[in-house]
A and B are shown apart, each in its own frame.
Chain A
Amino acid sequence: MAEKILMKGNEALAEAAIMAGCRHYFGYPITPQTEVAAYMSRRMPKIGGTFLQAESEIAAINMVIGAAAAGKRAMTSSSSPGISLKSEGISYMAGCDLPALIVNVQRGGPGLGGIQPSQSDYFQATRGGGHGDYHLLVLAPSSVQEMADLVFKGFDLAEKYRMPCMLLADGTMGQMMEPVELSERAGESAAKPWALTGTEGKRRPNIINSLALEPQELEKWNEDRFKRYDIVRENEQMSESYRMEDAEICVVAFGIAARVSQNAVDAARAKGIRAGMLRPITLWPFPEKALKAAADQCKAFVSVELNMGQMIEDVRLAIECKRPVSLCCRTGGMIPSPDEVLSVIERAAEGGK
C-alpha cells in the first residue's frame, strides 16, 4: 500500500493523470487551477510527455482534440470562464466521439465573476455546455483523494464510452491540502481502432469528423450516441450515502457542499432529526436510481449548492416531484456554513420549505 502524502487537490489530480497514463496536457493559465499546469510543466518533460501552454483556452482544447484523435490519453484543465471558451471544442469532441479529460476547477460567475469556489457551472457541465445534443461524463470529487481517484475513473469511462469526461471540481477542492494515497494503476485503455495513427498503407483512412449534411444521417448519429448515453445512465451512476438508513430528510450535495452538509447532518442527528445525505459522485449520469429510492423513504429533500439552485432541478426530476425539495445555497464564492444547512434541514423536518 502506498503511503499517504499531503497534497493540494490540483496537484493530486495532475499526478493521478500522469499515473493514469496521460502524457499530453494542454492548458492556459487561469485561477484557481494554476497548480495543475505548473505541476504538469515540471513533470511532463521529465517523463517524455507533452506540456504545452497554448495561446488560448480555445487552442488548448483543440490541441487535446488532436492528441485524442491520435489515440492518446490527453487532458486540459481550466476554470469557469475558460471552460466557456472550451465549449466549442468540447461540442466537437462529443460530435467526434473523442475521449479526453477536461477539468473545471470552478470559480464564481457569470462573466469574469470571481476567483473563489463555486458550483455554478453545474448546468453548463451536465447539459453539455456547447451547441448540439450531447452529454459529458461529469464527475464531482469531494476530497483530495477523490480528485485523484476520479481522474483514473474519468479516463477509463471516457475511453470506454468514447465521450469527453469532465472532472467538475471547485476552487476549494483544487486549493485544499489533504492526505492522499496515490498508486499507479493500469488504465483500462480500450482499443482504439478509430484513432489516427497513419494508414501505413494497410487499412482504409480513418476519418474523425462531426459533419453530416444529410439530416437523416445526422439524426442517426445522434440517436446512436444517445443509445450509448442510455447505457451510461444505466450502468455508471455513482453516489455515496451517509446516515441514510433511517433518514427522513435527505440532503443532496456534491463537492465541497457535501463536506459542509455532512457536518450539518450530524448536527441535525444530535438534535433528534433523522437526516441523511446522498452525495452524487457522477453528476451526469445523475444518480437517479438512488434518489428515486430515497423518495420512497424520506419525506423531504434539501439540495445544498454553491450557486443559485441548479442541481435542485435534477433532484426534483429524479424524485419525480414526489417530495418537497428545499434549497440551501450561497453563491459568488461564498460557502454555506453547517449552521445554515442545519436550519434548512430543520425547516424541512418541520414540514416547511
Chain B
Amino acid sequence: MMVFEKPKALTNAPLHYCPGCTHGIIHRLVAEAIDSLDIAGRTIGVASVGCSVFAYNYFNCDMVQAAHGRAPAVATGVKRADPSKIVFTYQGDGDLASIGTAETVHSAARGENITIIFVNNAIYGMTGGQMAPTSLPGQVTQTSPYGRDVNTVGYPVRICELLATLDGTGYVERVAVNNVKNVRNAKRAIEKAFRNQVEGKGFSLIEVLSTCPTNWGKTPEGALEWLDQNMIPYYPLGVYKDKFSEEAAK
C-alpha cells in the first residue's frame, strides 16, 4: 500500500506562500526528485530573490542564498568547487529572465552541470505584482496598469525557446502545475533534470508555469484557470531540447 507522506527533502517549516500559490507544489516536486534519487546528503541548493527567497528554510539540504539573478553563477562556483555535489537553483521569472538573463544564458552556454528550476508566474510576486519579463501582452500589473503595451515595453521572453538555441544547453522543458496531469508530468521532468546532473550529463532547466492568485487578483481556482487559458497558449508546454536523449539515440 502506498501512503502519501511529506518528502524527506523538505523541512517541517511552514511555507510562507499565499493561499493558492503553486510554489508549494513545486517545492514538493523538487524534494520528491531529491528523495527518489537519494541525493539530499550531497545536494546544495541556491535560493534566489523573490517569493522563493526563503527556499533555504524549506529544503532539507545545504543552501546558499544568492543575489537577485545571480543564482546560476553562484551554483557554478559551488559545482566547480566540488563536482560530486548536486547543485540546483530555484528562481522566479524576474530573477532568472530579467536581472539574471546573462547568468542564465551563459550557465547554459557553458553546459554547466547544474539543474535550474525556473518558476514562471508572469509577475513580480514578492514586491507586490509588478510587470515581469514574462508578463503577457495586455496583462494588467502594478506597473502596467493599462495592460502590458508591447509597443512601449516590448514582448515577453520565452526562456525555453531561447535556451534551446544554445549548443551548451542539455535539457529544457516547460511544464505546468495547474492540474493533476500537468503536476505528474512536471514531477517526471524535474526528476529527469536532477538525474541528468547525477549522471554528469550537463545543463538542465525546467520552466514551471505557476500561479500568483494574490497579484493576479484571482481566486486560487480562478488562477489555475487563468494559467490554463492565458499562459499555456503563450508558453506552450513541452520539451524544447533534449540533447542527451538525442545523443543516446545516435
Contacts and interface: CB of A to CB of B under 8 A. Distances in A.
A109 B85 CA distance: 41
B43 A67 contact: no
A206 B76 CA distance: 18
B82 A70 contact: yes
| Chain A interface residue number, banded | 35 or more
Interface string B68-97: 001001111111111001000000000000
B29 interface: no
Contact of B81 (A58, A72, A201, A210): A72
| Chain B interface residue number, banded | 35 or more
Contacts of B82: 70, 72, 197
B64 A66 contact: yes
A2 interface: no
A314 interface: no
Contacts of A206: 62-63
Contacts, number: 134
A24 B81 contact: yes
B44 A59 contact: no
A62 B62 CA distance: 17
Nearest to A54: B73
B61 interface: yes
Interface in B14-56: 40-44, 46-47, 53, 56
A211 interface: yes
Given A65-B64, A196-B64, A197-B62, A59 B70 contact: yes
Given A50-B80, A64-B77, A198 B65 contact: no
A306 to B, nearest CB: 31
Task: State the 8 A-B residue pairs at the shortest beta-carbon distance, nearest first.
Answer: A66-B77, A62-B73, A70-B81, A63-B77, A55-B106, A66-B78, A198-B42, A196-B62
Interface of A: 24, 26, 50, 52, 54-56, 58-60, 62-72, 74, 88-89, 92, 96, 196-202, 205-211
